[in-house]
A and B are shown apart, each in its own frame.
Chain A
Amino acid sequence: MPQRGKIWSKIDWLTAVIYLILLIIGWLNVYAAVYTESHHPLFDISTRYTRQFLFILLALFLAFSAILIEVNFYTFFAYVIYAFGILALAGVLVAGKEINNARSWYSFGWFNIQPSEFAKLAVCFGLAKFYSTFNLKTDTLRTTLIAGALIILPMLLILMQPDTGSAIVFLAFLIPMYREGMPPFILIIGILAGILFFLALILDKLTIILLLAVL
């Protein structure tokens, strides 16, 4: 293990600490929300806060594992991970369990898995790998279209579940794309669309049409 000392010094401690604080706040909130006056044992698998605690432990274990794995592994398998994410999304449309009129979950007995969560990670890998391509001209339309396709593919699969909310989250990848050189007008259009969306919630249709006409 030649790099043993380096691992810990290379961690973004600020992010890690923020992550841990959020974990704790989230867990306390779950505890408060389901608290009843009657006494319940702290460790009871049937309570949500106990289950949340188990998930926290599992997440920390996975985080450590992720750190310990050789970096080249990720570089090498990035597209494979992306492909797995897409396959999982395609599979859930066939083998998923229908909950609230949407096929978004794989059911494994006592726990369920939502592949769109893993797809987020998969797209991260795919996108990062793509933008790391040697000699890539990142500010061309062609590059943007290919990167965009990497995002739109999982989005379409999730929209078919249908789970619009989860799909919209993938638009956040426009921000790193912009950071890496995507033509700015796409982001500006995106922001304008977002503003329009919120206005539509607040104002009535006629006002918006008039506003757009004036602009």
Chain B
Amino acid sequence: MDPFSNRKKFIIILAAAGFLALFGKLFYIQIIDSSYKVSAESNSQRIVTRYPARGLIYDRTGKLIVSNQAAYDVLVNPSQLQSFDTAALCKMLGITVDAARRAIDSAFRFSRYQPSEFVRQISVQEYAVLQEQLYKFPGFFVQPRTLRKYHTSGSSHLLGYVGEVDKSVIKKDPYYRMGDYIGISGIEKAYEEALRGRKGQEVLLVDVHGRVKGSFADGKFDRDAEVGEDLYTTIDLALQEYGEKLMQNMRGSIVAIEPQTGEILALVSSPGYDPALLVGRARAGNYARLAKDTLKPLFNRALMAKYPPGSTFKIMNALIGLKEGVIGTQTEFGCNMGIQIGGMFKRCHSHASPLDLRGAIQNSCNSYFFLTFRNIIENRNYKNSTEAYNAWRRYVMSFGFGKVLGSDLPNELGGFVPAEDYYNRYYGKNRWNAYTIISLGIGQGELGITPLQMANYAAIIANRGYYVIPHSVKEIENKTLERKFRERHFVAIDSSLFNPIIDGMQGAVNGPGTGTALIARLPNIIICGKTGTAQNPHGADHSIFIAFAPRDNPKIALSVYVENGGFGATYAAPVASLIIEKFLTDTITRPWLEQHVLNANLLYYNAPKRKNMVED
């Protein structure tokens, strides 16, 4: 007989144990564990999103800048399709029969029972026509969405635009789903969380084919969408639009700030574009066209362009010189079409000589500020030139230069104020001195300043020594303004030292006698300003002007840059003067000056670089 016959029993026991384990697991999955039940249920409910309208955007006077318009996505549910008049539908929606066929094919591929997009964002007008005829096209239906509507043809860099979220955002923020809209730049991006509101939802019961069977749990889990919060910006839309009009034939920027509050009154980057171009179905095509434009209309010059400050920086050096005690208000330097300094002859333009500090600013004397800068860097109170330079740099940075100011607008750049290392690397440690970097005395050389920083600089002078971080939003519905936009930042210069400089700026615009910006003079308002000319390697110099007005209790401080515009007085000063007049009096009394600006031809034309150009 078989000696091993009882081994058969052991094998049976082994197999039985194995099956017992399997049954145990099956029991666990079916009866105890609920995770499969949950995923099965999600198969029987469909969550339909209710989209909120985005918050509205107003200007500082309560004028509406951005609102919403209805748009309609046409969806198709393949399972309900019947043969229909393709040509009629395509004509109504403005698409080709081919495109319609492709859309239906891809809808079939996605799902027979779940709706897919057929045509997106048709206008109210198209929808009105379609709605009457929709009964002829079973399987098609319409879902309302909202798009932005702009009540101005500019302000695009400031406002930014809205577009569909991309995958990287969805990954980072679970709030967003494919097809949601999000602010992509400007205010739309900065205040996205306030503007977007909150999506609501509707939970529907569906069968295994995704056919709607009614509301789930009598709508217990439905939630209405919450409309986005409205924004009241600091922008003066009339001023903004006027600035855009003035800049229409120039490249450059205007940034105007209310000095006491840091509120941005206008922020123009020219050339701009019509924000309506980036709405709805046309966006993709228009965006590509704008991105390819050689004038770079998408580039926000006001926040991102870095220019040397030119002669406007003489004010900075005057303040530092006074603070360090290396010049006084009565200090006079002689200048005879230039001076001999550090073995070089540095040229200047024709003006009276000698000049005191006020006169030097009024006439923008190069020699005066070369010497002032030399005195700052060769100051015996410091161990060496490098130490003195570092002290100088600290003063400069306290004005918000060389770092991001931290405004509420995205993509703001910090500019460049070289650190000690920069020169050490270039010349070698202790192998440079005041004469090596003397061009900083008149704001040329390695400095990179953005127009926003420049306007903030004008605001600091207007405030006699402090600034509030520039910002573009005054009030958000139901929310107080961030604290950082209410704080005053004091610069490292005593406020008493500003008045002699302001005297010089008043003189530059109003005289008596000669001044670099007499063209900007207004009869009844004292404008204080300083011209500048930024040398640049790409052609004619950039025309710069910073100013504030009125002299006492200033209401507006601004910077104007006109690329390749020549001297500061040529274009930038007239633009600034017109902006100030428009803002303070709401009238233009000098049509000839306005014409001069409007007739500029600087958008495409770039005059060749002038040789032996002298700072104004």
Contact = CB atoms under 8 A, between A and B. Distances in A.
Contacts of A181: 3-4
Interface string A121-135: 000000000000000
Interface of A: 37-38, 138-139, 175, 178-181
B410 to A, nearest CB: 45
A178 B7 contact: yes
A138 B4 contact: yes
Given A37-B112, A175-B11, A179-B4, 14 more contacts: A37-B79, A37-B113, A37-B209, A38-B112, A138-B4, A139-B4, A178-B7, A178-B11, A179-B7, A179-B8, A179-B11, A180-B4, A181-B3, A181-B4
Interface string B441-457: 00000000000000000
Contacts of B4: 138-139, 179-181
A179 B112 CA distance: 56
Contacts of A180: 4
Contacts of A139: 4
Interface residues of B, number: 9
A210 to B, nearest CB: 25
A139 B209 CA distance: 61
Interface of B: 3-4, 7-8, 11, 79, 112-113, 209
Contacts of B8: 179
11 contacts: A37-B79, A37-B112, A37-B113, A37-B209, A138-B4, A139-B4, A178-B7, A179-B4, A179-B8, A179-B11, A181-B4
B3, B4, B8 pick with most chain A CB within 10 angstroms: B4
A66 B46 CA distance: 54
A175 B113 CA distance: 51
Contacts of A178: 7, 11
Pick the 4 closest A-B CB pairs, nearest first: A181-B4, A179-B7, A175-B11, A37-B112
A173 B3 CA distance: 20
Contacts of A37: 79, 112-113, 209
Nearest to A38: B112
A180 B8 CA distance: 9
Contacts of B3: 181
A181 B11 CA distance: 13
A38 B79 CA distance: 10
A28 B260 CA distance: 80
A139, A179, A180 pick with most chain B CB within 10 angstroms: A179
A181 B7 CA distance: 8
A172 to B, nearest CB: 11
Nearest to A181: B4
A171 B11 CA distance: 15
A180 B7 CA distance: 8
A175 B4 CA distance: 13
Contacts of B11: 175, 178-179
A119 to B, nearest CB: 23
B77 to A, nearest CB: 13
Nearest to B108: A38
A128 to B, nearest CB: 15
Nearest to B15: A175
A205 to B, nearest CB: 24
A138 B2 CA distance: 11
Contacts of A38: 112
A178 B13 CA distance: 14
